[in-house]
A and B are shown apart, each in its own frame.
Chain A
Amino acid sequence: MSPRRLAVAGGRVRPVIGRVSGPLALVRERPLFVAPLEAWFGLRPGDRTLVAPGESVVRGAQLAERFRDRRTDVVEGPAGDGAEPGSWWTGSPSRRDRSGEPPSGELLFRAGGRWRVASGEPADALEAPFAGIVREVRPGAGIAVGGLGRGLIGTDVLGGPVTGRLQIAAPRDGHLRASAIDVGAAGAILVVGARIDAEAITRARAVGVRGMVVAGLGVKERREVLASERRSQAGTHGLPPFAVLVLDGAIGRPIATPVMAVLEALQGSTVAIVDMPPCLALDDGAIAVPAPAPDLVRVVAGPLAGAEGRWTGLAGPHRFAGGVILEACWVELDGGARIAIPLGDLERYT
């Protein structure tokens, strides 16, 4: 590597490449979609993959069989020719095993002449939430599936993957209560507005809702979802998978209007929630999605979090609450007021 030198002739200093953008470029850009969507579905050692790279899968096709009551077995002797860590092993049925099923599992490693094998009881099937092509299969780690559609990006997903028809159950600044959820929502992915409480999540899961899309999810509700997932996975007859797509973060704020416009356009169509990347997968490329206005900015933090308005220019360094001086810009809020907002508190959708 050439040494970094200050003089231009030394070759360390690289020239600026690209154009100099306008001041609106100082506002962080947030893309609405990831496209093309390639989703990663995590597996754990002992889960059995059922697909191979290059295979086409349709929505609902089984990608893998997941296990519960996971354990490590120790198997005497060689596991056969070509046995490699990660390969699937099936042994001979034991006389002590009343089921008559031969023991099986994923080979982990061999030490002292014995294999460690990850096994467990079959629990549920991992199904493809959208049609696509299997890009990569890594036993014990995960499966990558590339789809033709796009993904509406969120910040986080708990649970999943799930598929369901999208149903808007609350306005973008709403708060869906447990009493508002009934069995009519079974099989749906609900858009629940700015925030949701733990009781509503429990009820949704009980009536068969497959997923939720919410702007903010606090730690209490997050723990409720994760505990519910763990209970479901531990049960012999587990509940169907459930997922929550968090669009913004941990604090309740209205869903951004460009995002809500997409969700409204998708109402009634079948969508999926996948966790890597955290997004709402749209299979149907034919749905017209409105483009956000270029000067629309959204406040993501501070007392005005969730407010939207129109960018009107840089305001320079401003003194804000707490005596903090921050770079700011002028925003004409939807109510008509023109105020200075810290540059870091804004984002714009593209």
Chain B
Amino acid sequence: MTKPPRTLAIVDAGGATLSVALVGHLDGRWRLLGSLAGPAAIDEDALLAAIAERTASADPVLAAGLGLDAGSRADVPRLTARSRPPGKLLVVGATERSLGLLMAEASRTSWHLISASPETHDPREMTELALDGTVDAVLLGAGDPPGPDERGALDDLAALGVAAARRRPDLRFVLCGGIRDRRAWRAARADDLDESRIVEVPAVAGRRGEEGLLRAALEGLRADPLDGRGAMRRSVASLADLLDRRVELIEVGFDGGTRILAEPGTGGGDSTTESVITAEGGLIPPEPGDDIIDGVLAWSTGNLDRHRLIDRLRELRIRPWADAAGDGARLRLAAASAALARMAAVTEHLGSRPAPDLTIVAGGAFAGAPASAIALAVAGTIRRPGATQLAWDHARLLGPIGTIDDPAERYALLADLARDALVPLGTTFVAAASGSRQGLGRHGRGSVGRVDLAGDGLSMSRELAGDEVHFMDLPPGAVARARFEFHDAVRLGRRTRSAEVEVTGGLAGLLVDLRAVPLRLPERRDRRRTMLAAWSELSWPGDDR
């Protein structure tokens, strides 16, 4: 009979950083002893040893009891999740119109995308893209039945696909629509191609088109049971059941991001989840285009000109684990905000739901950032009227725990570790102007209402200015009732002039955000930067950049 382990190393091997957490079984439950993260290339044994040594130096008796002496560390079992290496998908549509539809679906997957269509690329250019060694798969698509504008290009598309398949035996294909039925496909003797390389899905457009299947097929090409992003979905589902709360997870990583919304099961049923893993949510893409640069520039409060910003972002891509203090920390959070904004754009269907009870922030992009700055970044990009508790998966446990297949076992481990895994950041309360008004501010920056906070020995009030953010101290563990009174009606899921919500404390406290929903920033960069800098002053400790 095998003895159950007393310690467990939980390892999240991300694209940029490696995080190791050490948990121990104490007093009948698992507890987090410590965690450490470093560049992806370093040895996880070294990280584990550093945590074990710190544990031993802080509590030698506990460490000895758990068998954390140098000789036994090698026997510590591990629970590992890893980020899949980024994949590149070439999307070829019969026309620019059909390409747009394919790209809209494919952008909600973890693939990095490049695109072409016969309207913009000649056969040589499309072949060049398909032969590029960095391309892992090709999506060829048209409507079903094909539109009149698509028919002329379908044979070329089919022949291009077969030719590329013959020349690159490692390339995989997703055929969307009737590509396979084309005469050119058969004429090119495609029947002798390895069927396992080809996935056929219904078209996304046309009378016989179906939505959602293409996304599933594309994600299926990259299926990996140890993938941290995919595994997070299961952890969040278990967490929703465990806490009996609606839980949303927002993750920004090196090569992609994740947004998951989970609701607890009702009537003994299982929890339900919806999720999007998207390369758009990555901190900085490998070759950022002008739109990406503009996005980061829009959230930047520094004095960098465009060229310097591109240089800094290039450095961030080369060494994403470095330059995490001072100016670098602010730039990193600006890049993370831009990534959150991109992710919000491709997950509008999740953004339109009511605010969840708990929002979990995850991913290496937020490592080391001050809690209030993380809260402000999330509130500024994932904007929904209502109140939500914010927490941070600081030790990156949710991905690895999600790789446990058995729901009961996953649930039990999460039940033990949830308090240690999630650092409370506080609560955000977002109120939107009702009707056609863009913001809450009416007369300059005058008061638009007030908030009274009471509970746990706390009692404080504050006048609220419109189009502003307000931080109120509310320590971790504190629970209070916040009563909001507004001079005019606001939108909080419904139109109201007053609301009372339960708020919980955290490192950032209570963040009351009365800016416009969605956030509107001045077009002129100097004004925008001034406005962002003013909000940033509230969230970054000290002015020592």
Give the interface of A toward B (CB within 8 A).
1, 3-9, 12-16, 18-23, 25-29, 40, 44-46, 70-72, 84-86, 108-112, 116, 118, 138-142, 155, 218-220, 249-251, 300-303, 314, 316, 320-327, 342-345
- Say yes or no: A323 contacts B324, CB within 8 Å: no
- Say yes or no: B545 contacts A322, CB within 8 Å: yes
CB A279 to nearest CB in B, in angstroms, measures 15
27 inter-chain pairs at a CB distance below 8 angstroms, sorted by A residue, are A4-B225, A4-B405, A6-B8, A8-B4, A8-B77, A16-B9, A20-B74, A26-B47, A45-B124, A72-B122, A72-B124, A108-B124, A109-B123, A109-B127, A109-B159, A111-B156, A111-B184, A138-B131, A250-B314, A321-B329, A322-B330, A322-B540, A324-B369, A325-B368, A344-B319, A344-B323, A345-B323
**Contacts beyond the supplied A110-B188, A116-B156, A219-B310: 20 A-B pairs with Cβ under 8 Å:** A3-B406, A6-B406, A13-B78, A15-B75, A19-B45, A21-B49, A22-B46, A28-B41, A45-B131, A70-B124, A85-B167, A108-B163, A109-B123, A110-B184, A112-B155, A249-B318, A302-B325, A321-B327, A323-B540, A323-B541
Within B267-304, the residues touching A (CB, 8 Å) are: none
Instruction: Give how many A-B residue pairs fall within 8 Å (CB-CB).
Output: 244
- Say yes or no: A249 contacts B314, CB within 8 Å: yes
Residue of B nearest to A29 (CB): B41
**Set A7, A23, A109: member contacting B46, Cβ < 8 A:** A23
CB A178 to nearest CB in B, in angstroms, measures 19
A84 partner residues in chain B, CB cutoff 8 A: 166
- Say yes or no: A321 contacts B326, CB within 8 Å: yes
- Say yes or no: A140 contacts B128, CB within 8 Å: yes
Given contacts A300-B319, A324-B326, A324-B368, contact A14 B77 (CB under 8 A): yes
- Say yes or no: A85 contacts B166, CB within 8 Å: yes
A327 partner residues in chain B, CB cutoff 8 A: 36-38
B164 partner residues in chain A, CB cutoff 8 A: 85
CB B249 to nearest CB in A, in angstroms, measures 20
Given contacts A16-B73, A28-B39, A344-B38, contact A44 B321 (CB under 8 A): no
- Say yes or no: B405 contacts A5, CB within 8 Å: yes
Question: Is B523 interfacial (CB 8 A cutoff)?
Answer: no
- Say yes or no: B128 contacts A45, CB within 8 Å: yes
- Say yes or no: B329 contacts A324, CB within 8 Å: yes
B168 partner residues in chain A, CB cutoff 8 A: 141
Most B Cβ at <10 Å: residue of A84, A142, A250: A250
Question: Is B5 interfacial (CB 8 A cutoff)?
Answer: yes
Given contacts A5-B409, A13-B8, contact A324 B315 (CB under 8 A): no
B39 partner residues in chain A, CB cutoff 8 A: 28, 344
Within B403-444, the residues touching A (CB, 8 Å) are: 403-406, 409, 413
B307 partner residues in chain A, CB cutoff 8 A: 218-220
B147 partner residues in chain A, CB cutoff 8 A: none
Question: Is B50 interfacial (CB 8 A cutoff)?
Answer: yes
A4 to B403, CA, bound (A): 7
Question: Is B193 interfacial (CB 8 A cutoff)?
Answer: no
- Say yes or no: B2 contacts A8, CB within 8 Å: yes
**Set A1, A28, A219, A326: member contacting B324, Cβ < 8 A:** A326
Residue of A nearest to B370 (CB): A323
Question: Is B458 interfacial (CB 8 A cutoff)?
Answer: no
CB A190 to nearest CB in B, in angstroms, measures 22
Question: Is B312 interfacial (CB 8 A cutoff)?
Answer: yes
- Say yes or no: B315 contacts A301, CB within 8 Å: yes
- Say yes or no: B409 contacts A141, CB within 8 Å: no
B188 partner residues in chain A, CB cutoff 8 A: 109-110
A250 to B542, CA, bound (A): 29
A314 to B42, CA, bound (A): 15
A327 to B315, CA, bound (A): 20
Given contacts A20-B46, A324-B326, contact A155 B74 (CB under 8 A): no
**Set A20, A116, A302, A344: member contacting B326, Cβ < 8 A:** A302
B184 partner residues in chain A, CB cutoff 8 A: 110-112
Question: Is B133 interfacial (CB 8 A cutoff)?
Answer: yes
Q: Nearest 4 A-B pairs (CB), nearest first?
A: A323-B541, A320-B325, A321-B326, A13-B77
A118 partner residues in chain B, CB cutoff 8 A: 123-124, 127
- Say yes or no: B319 contacts A249, CB within 8 Å: yes
A213 to B166, CA, bound (A): 39
- Say yes or no: B123 contacts A322, CB within 8 Å: no
Question: Is B322 interfacial (CB 8 A cutoff)?
Answer: yes
B124 partner residues in chain A, CB cutoff 8 A: 45-46, 70-72, 108, 116, 118
- Say yes or no: B162 contacts A109, CB within 8 Å: yes
Residue of A nearest to B80 (CB): A14
A195 to B308, CA, bound (A): 14
A25 partner residues in chain B, CB cutoff 8 A: 42-43, 45-46
- Say yes or no: A44 contacts B4, CB within 8 Å: no
Question: Is B544 interfacial (CB 8 A cutoff)?
Answer: yes
Given contacts A16-B75, A28-B42, A111-B159, contact A6 B324 (CB under 8 A): no
**Set A15, A71, A108, A251: member contacting B77, Cβ < 8 A:** A15
Given contacts A25-B43, A322-B545, contact A14 B78 (CB under 8 A): yes
CB B402 to nearest CB in A, in angstroms, measures 10
